[in-house]
Structure 1
Amino acid sequence: MGFFPPFTDDHLQRYFRILQEGTAVRRHFDLLKWLQGEVQHYLPHEILLAAWGDFGSNNVQYDIISPLPGLRTAQLQLARLSPLLRVSYNRWIEVGRIPCVSRVCEAQLDVSGILQGDGAAHCPFGRALRNMRSSLFHGISDERGHHDCLYVVFSSKDKLDDSTLIAMEILLPYLDTALRRVTPLPQHSCRPSLLADAPEYDLHGLSEREVEIMTWVRKGKTNAEIGSILRISSYTVKNHLHQIFRKLDVYNRVQAISKIEQRVGHG
């Protein structure tokens, strides 16, 4: 796009207030309050879905910001969101990485897969989308981090006009900056893969948390990375590992991984 019409003094003052309030965002609640404030004047919506990572390999993380009851990041599954994110991302690429407005209808949601599969009727995100009429998406390509950030807003309004496209292009850098300052909420996670792989009758007495930690150890994550993923301190991870080594009768991570994989292989 790149072309913005002249704004009145009232518009300029409101935009200035919005940008100023955006710089104060530090917590998830701050982000919600900011988006539900004067931002709504230019970008009316009930749901913001933010996703970042490698969309080609489906290695993405996501966050939901919405005042709607039950619509929380921790309650959503990436497997259910992935088709919708893929459709939106591909569409954004097709239109030349510019903001784009789209109608939301049940047929489109069926195509994206959000309303299909087991449990779709009980998915809070799917239920909420049934009441949405319009969507707008735009993204930012991180040339240094080599990943993309996609933002999709859903609105109950029948139509989002060109002014919302302009608003999205103006606000997106500030939205992206605000989101990066906020610690992401825990995402829905299925039972750790180690629990699925290892024989149920013999997990060496490991607790579910210890099994979860070993899952990430097997993926090559450091204590600090595991702590960030599980939202615990690296010191707590270290203490868990000491207990794991004791239970497995090993002395280090390599031996622990080897023993677990031997057990899984013989299961």
Structure 2
Amino acid sequence: MEPVVILSRQEQEYLLRAIEPGLRVASLRQFFLWTQGQVQALLPHHVLVCLQFGPGGGVTRLECLHGTVLDTAAQRVLTDADDGLALRIARHCMRSGRLPVLADFGAVAAESLAGFRAEVAQAGFDNVLVHGTGPTSAGGSMFVLFGLPPRPEVRLGYFAELLLPHLHLALCRLPAARDAGDGLPARPLSARETEIVGWLRAGKSNDEMGKLLGISALTVKNHLQRIYRTLGVSNRAHALARCIDLRLLED
């Protein structure tokens, strides 16, 4: 018999704060802001890979969401649509019929995903949490979270169960991937602006970006203001989310 999980008052509040905005997610930008914002309070992670499958089991959508810089090579390893690590882990868990799955490769005990230990470590992580609908007549969705807190608690799997219906429905509401380029800005970002957005994604301040780029913090601020106008946003978080939505940061 599985132990009963009782949410603390704070966890109940976090759950409500995560569910409510999730009901309004209708774009990749909103999905990014939600999963990297309110969802993080219950399911802290570095990288979230979301996969949608068609009725035949083929991948119809793959999104990789992360609020910090992810090494390009590691991102390719995680997100390859044909043989990526996240895809193989998701399919392994779907076949096993055991969901959610929490694998802490830093623990001494044997892991249900032990066969992936070396690859997960090579990608820069030591744990992974997997949950999803599993296969259904209409397809299904799976969510693979990398980089949980050290020695993650088993109760994170319960939080994943509580949030799964909302993650699944929000992912299903997103426009088709082929439409992601709709509503492009009036002009492409310049090389310097793209560089600044990259440092913005890394969480750098204006002063830090100025030192890295050899320009003043005021010049960085001016670049940011032009970026905001070009993208039609008003702050740093929305600028980053808009770039994610438009796939401007993909190689």
What band does the TM-score fall into relative to the shorter chain?
0.5 to 0.7
8 Å CA contact retained: 2:101, 2:129: yes
- After superposition, the Cα gap between the structure-2 partners of 1:104 and 1:27, relative to the gap in structure 1 and judged at 3 Å, is farther
Cα shift at 1:99: 0.4
8 Å CA contact retained: 1:102, 1:134: yes
Question: Do structure 1's residue 153 and structure 2's residue 145 form an aligned pair?
Answer: yes
Cα shift at 1:142: 5.8
Question: What fraction of aligned residue pairs are identical, expressed as a percent?
Answer: 19
Q: Deviations over 1:41-100 (max 9, x none)?
A: 22110111111215976444311111133679x97542351x541233223432x34201
**Bigger Rg, which one:** 1
Tell me what 1:168 maps to: 160
The gaps in structure 2 that reach 5 residues or longer are 107-113, 184-251
Tell me what 1:98 maps to: 99
Cα shift at 1:40: 1.8
- After superposition, the Cα gap between the structure-2 partners of 1:171 and 1:4, relative to the gap in structure 1 and judged at 3 Å, is farther
Q: Deviations over 1:204-259 (max 9, x none)?
A: xxxxxxxxxxxxxxxxxxxxxxxx59869xxxxxxxxxxxxxxxxxxxxxxxxxxx
1:72-151 residue pairs with structure 2 within 5 A?
Answer: 77-81=80-84, 84-94=86-96, 96-103=97-104, 108=116, 129-130=123-124, 132-141=125-134, 143-145=136-138, 147-151=139-143
- After superposition, the Cα gap between the structure-2 partners of 1:71 and 1:170, relative to the gap in structure 1 and judged at 3 Å, is farther
Tell me what 1:182 maps to: 174
Cα shift at 1:104: 5.2
Aligned equivalents of 2:12, 2:19: Cα separation in 1:
11
Aligned equivalents of 1:69, 1:97: Cα separation in 2:
31
Q: Which amino acid aligns with 1:101?
A: L
Aligned equivalents of 1:28, 1:49: Cα separation in 2:
13
1:1-267 residue pairs with structure 2 within 5 A?
Answer: 4-54=4-54, 58-69=58-69, 77-81=80-84, 84-94=86-96, 96-103=97-104, 108=116, 129-130=123-124, 132-141=125-134, 143-145=136-138, 147-183=139-175, 185=177
Q: Which amino acid aligns with 2:146?
A: F
Aligned equivalents of 1:53, 1:139: Cα separation in 2:
11
The gaps in structure 1 that reach 5 residues or longer are 116-128, 187-227, 233-267
Ranked by relative contact order (alpha carbons within 8 Å, sequence separation 6 or more), the top structure is 2
Aligned equivalents of 1:181, 1:34: Cα separation in 2:
14
Q: Which amino acid aligns with 1:53?
A: F
Q: Which amino acid aligns with 1:171?
A: L
RMSD: 3.7
Q: Deviations over 1:167-202 (max 9, x none)?
A: 00000100111111222556xxxxxxxxxxxxxxxx
TM-score, normalization by structure 1: 0.53
8 Å CA contact retained: 1:42, 1:163: no
Q: Deviations over 1:4-58 (max 9, x none)?
A: 5233333322211211111122222221221222322221101111112159764
Aligned equivalents of 1:42, 1:63: Cα separation in 2:
20
